[in-house]
Each structure stands twice: as structure tokens, then as C-alpha cells.
Structure 1
Amino acid sequence: MNLVWWSIEVRDGETPARQWRDAWSRSLLEAAVTHGAHDFIWQAEPFGVVLELGFAGTGDWDRFRHLPAVVAALDAVDPTSIYVYPGRGGSAGAGLPRRTPRPVRGDAAPLPVEPPALLVARLS
């Protein structure tokens, strides 16, 4: 089954994001499972927490997102500390570190050349 993933990312603010997770995890997961989530995972990150939810379709996510328990949980976070977006979040990027670019050998741009000074003739 191909799941549609959504992420709720809460960053540390005045209160740690882990406290928000502890307070709202049970109601969020109950709402998710009873409204079509087929998979979920909590991730603790250095910046906060990420809840990844896998739904069978976008309609399931829409229904979940507008449940009173979910709205209350999202409203309990400072708006500048929460991000809700499609796809997996947190550390879902590539498993290998990025390679640093190597210097390129070859033709380089010429160094800038200063224009010659202007000579101004004066009549005395």
C-alpha cells in the first residue's frame, strides 16, 4: 500500500516540544488510528519532535486534521514553533552525508583589469 505521509513538526520554544508530545500524544494517536492512519512514528530531534502519519489517502488526512482533538493539540503550540506539511519530516532525508564539492580545475575567469587613468588637458 502506498501511503500519503504528513508531518507535524514542533520545535522547542518557551517550553520544550517533548512536553507538548507528552500532553497530546495519546489523543493525537487515537484520533489518527480511528480516522484512517495506517502508520505513525514519533521522532525526537535536537530541535524538538516530529510526528509522521501515513494515511491511505488525502481525504483521510483532511478528516483527521479537522477533528476537535487535533485542532486543540495544534492550537496548544506557539504558531511560530509548529510546522505541518506533506511528506516525512525530521531526519527523513538521505541516509548518507552530503559530499563536499571538490574544487573545479580548468579555465578560470580572468582577473579584473583596471581601466587606464584618464588624462585631462587644461588650458591655462
Structure 2
Amino acid sequence: MSKYWWSIEVLDGAFSAEQWRAAHAAALIEASITHGACDWDWQRHSWGVIFEIAFRDSDDWSVFRRLPAVTAALDAVPDPINGLMIYEGRGGTSASNDPRRPYPRAGAGAAPIPQEPSPVLIARLG
């Protein structure tokens, strides 16, 4: 069974991200569990916090993200301009027993096939 991980990174701003976590963690965890989350984790860093959340169904994230409790928590981050990052996958520094999966390289990492240059056309008047 695969898990669809999402990360919410909150950076310190007008107040610490840890204070934000203390105020909103219970609501975020309750909302995630009641709307299909199968795993979650908090990471604390010197610059802020990361809330990692996994769903069994990729559509459950969209439902979770639109919940009023989640919207209110994200609206209340310490730095609403530069201090909130939301992205798919594990965040920050994933633990060694739970590594981030690398994304596949475009074109399997191969070099492009060489193309012959187009001939130069010169028009002469007269």
C-alpha cells in the first residue's frame, strides 16, 4: 500500500513556528485523522517546523487542505508572506529509516539526440 506524503513547512516570523505548532497541532492532527490520514510526523528545526502527513488516497489531500481548521491554521502562520511552504513528498531532512523517494529524471537522464543544424537560406535581390 503506497502512501501519498505532503509536507507543510512553517518558518519563524513575528513569533516562533513552535508557538504556531503548539496552538494548531491538535486541530491539524484531528482533521488529518478524521479525513483519511494514515501517518503523520512533526519535525522541529532551528528555523521552524515541518508537518508531514500521509494519505492512502491522493484525493484525500485536497479534501484535507480545504477544511476550515486547516485553512485557519495556515492563515495564522508567523510569516504569511515567506514563511509557508506546502509541497508533495517528505520534507526537510527525512529520517534515514524513512527516506525520501527520488523523482524520476526526465528522459531517464539521457542526453538529447543530436540534431543536424538547419541550412541557412540567403536571399539575393536583383
TM-score for both structures, normalised by structure 1 = 0.73
Match of 2:86 in 1: 84
Alpha-carbon shift at residue 90 of structure 1 (Å) = 1.4
CA distance in 1 between counterparts of 2:6 and 2:22 reads 20
Residues 1-124 of structure 1: matches in 2 within 5 Å?
Answer: 1-77=1-77, 78-92=80-94
Task: Say which one has the larger Rg.
Answer: 1
Amino acid aligned to 1:47: W
Amino acid aligned to 2:37: A
Alpha-carbon shift at residue 93 of structure 1 (Å) = 7.7
CA distance in 1 between counterparts of 2:23 and 2:96 reads 31
Classify 1:26/1:94 alpha carbon distance in 2 versus 1 (closer, same or farther; 3 Å).
closer
Gaps of 5+ in 2: 98-126
Identity of aligned residues (%): 49
CA distance in 1 between counterparts of 2:38 and 2:96 reads 23
- Could you list the runs of 4 or more consecutive aligned residues of structure 1 that deviate by over 6 angstroms after TM superposition? none
Gaps of 5+ in 1: 96-124
